[in-house]
Amino acid sequence: MPHPATWLKPLPQGLSCEPGGFFVDPVRPVDRAVVTHAHSDHARPGHRAVLASPATLALMQARLGEEACLSWQALGWGEVLRLGDVLLSLQPAGHVLGSAQVVMEYRGSRAVVSGDYKRAPDPTCAPFVPVPCDVFVTEATFALPVFRHPPAAAEIGRLLQSRALFPERTHVVGCYSLGKCQRLIALLRAAGWDRPVFLHGALAPMCRVYEAQGVRLGDLRPATVAAKAELVGSIVLAPPSAVGENWARRLAEPVVGMASGWMRVRQRAKQGGVELPLVISDHADWDELNATVDEVGAPEVWVTHGREEALIHAIGKRGVTGRALRMLGYGDEDDAGGESPPAPSPRPPPSRGGGADSSPPPLEGGGWGEGPSGRGAR
């Protein structure tokens, strides 16, 4: 049984599954990219062929345009695709709509790349499914014991309390456009807030994709054109970059909030001028990371990015071998850097078969469903 280290390798482009002929979440344009989710640090333009969950494809195409990659192929939860000798499937990661773990099996050994994930309930996406494996590849964004996310519903309760206390003021909450925004709306609805939720224009497109994918968000209205009077006592969502700006100051005596796992760090809230920090994260906290490692039962855990030392130390005490991959290019969307889409990279020329660079297998059609040998099923 070949150890996953012999067939799954961290390269500058991303994690390379060599016998399958693809990369997972490549940060540079490649022939075949399996994409865990649509956040900009994982889903980049310029690949020839992209394989992802149906919702991730819809979100990517809305963000990047349908021309951003040459071909797109959807893979539903649990469907198995054979690529050479590699069996590939996707399981939910619970991070944002469509977010997937990539499950790879090669000659009897199994590796799972979690992408970004969380274990806390989220009404806007399918929950994380633990998959037993030989190597579990995890993120470590909040891998310090200080990071323990409170229940999100309790944080939403604090927002509604503040709103009840200051009914004449506009509550404006900073949140990222993909995932956090829709989760906040769903949490507000679950807490009984059935009035309109007002949106900064930058947040509307992703909400439309969520709605089209069947996630009901209720009455959403543009905050930019709404009369100021209408916004008195209302809840407005805006990208983090907008809440500190003139845009937010136009609102009626705004109470500025921010929804992020980083709001655990008081200094961070203070620096951003945030009056109402809401600790709501789409990433696993310290307890979730450790529980997940135990649950999947992998003897070896690879950490792609984040604060790997504490996690590797903690799991080592439980007999699990940790390896820091220190992969570059993955920010996290809770950080300002990860959110804005990267400048489009030039797409590789569509030279099919026998260009100067003959190392990757030539692609036919969608580029999926055939082995690197060039002969293939489907």
Q: Which residues bind Zn ion (CB under 5 A)?
A: 39, 41, 116, 332-333
Token readout for 98 is: 């469509």
Q: Is 315 helix (H, G, I), strand (E, B) or coil?
A: helix
What secondary structure letter does DSSP report for 77? Answer: B
Q: Which is nearer to Zn ion, 41 or 300 (CB)?
A: 41
Q: Which is nearer to Zn ion, 64 or 251 (CB)?
A: 64
User: At its nearest, how many Å lie between Zn ion and the CB of residue 282?
Assistant: 7
> How far apart are the C-alpha atoms of 201 and 242, rounded to whole Å?
11
Q: Which is nearer to Zn ion, 39 or 180 (CB)?
A: 39
User: At its nearest, how many Å lie between Zn ion and the CB of residue 116?
Assistant: 4
User: At its nearest, how many Å lie between Zn ion and the CB of residue 372?
Assistant: 28
Distances (CA, A) of 136 to 25, 209, 313, 337: 16, 31, 16, 26
User: At its nearest, how many Å lie between Zn ion and the CB of residue 263?
Assistant: 17
User: At its nearest, how many Å lie between Zn ion and the CB of residue 41?
Assistant: 5
> How far apart are the C-alpha atoms of 334 and 263, rounded to whole Å?
10
Treating both helix axes as pointing N-terminal to C-terminal, what angle do 286-296 and 308-316 enclose, rounded to 10 degrees? 50
Distances (CA, A) of 195 to 186, 188, 218, 236, 356: 12, 10, 9, 11, 60
> How far apart are the C-alpha atoms of 320 and 293, rounded to whole Å?
9
Treating both helix axes as pointing N-terminal to C-terminal, what angle do 204-212 and 180-190 enclose, rounded to 10 degrees? 70
Q: Cα-Cα-Cα-Cα dihedral of 208, 212, 215, 218, to 10°?
A: 50
Token readout for 51 is: 């394989």
> How far apart are the C-alpha atoms of 345 and 348, rounded to whole Å?
9
Token readout for 223 is: 């905050």
User: At its nearest, how many Å lie between Zn ion and the CB of residue 111?
Assistant: 19
Residues with Cβ within 8 Å of residue 234, at least 6 apart in sequence: 170, 171, 195, 196, 198
Q: Which is nearer to Zn ion, 285 or 332 (CB)?
A: 332
User: At its nearest, how many Å lie between Zn ion and the CB of residue 37?
Assistant: 6
Q: Which is nearer to Zn ion, 23 or 198 (CB)?
A: 23
User: At its nearest, how many Å lie between Zn ion and the CB of residue 12?
Assistant: 17
Q: Any bridge partners for residue 226, and if so which?
A: none
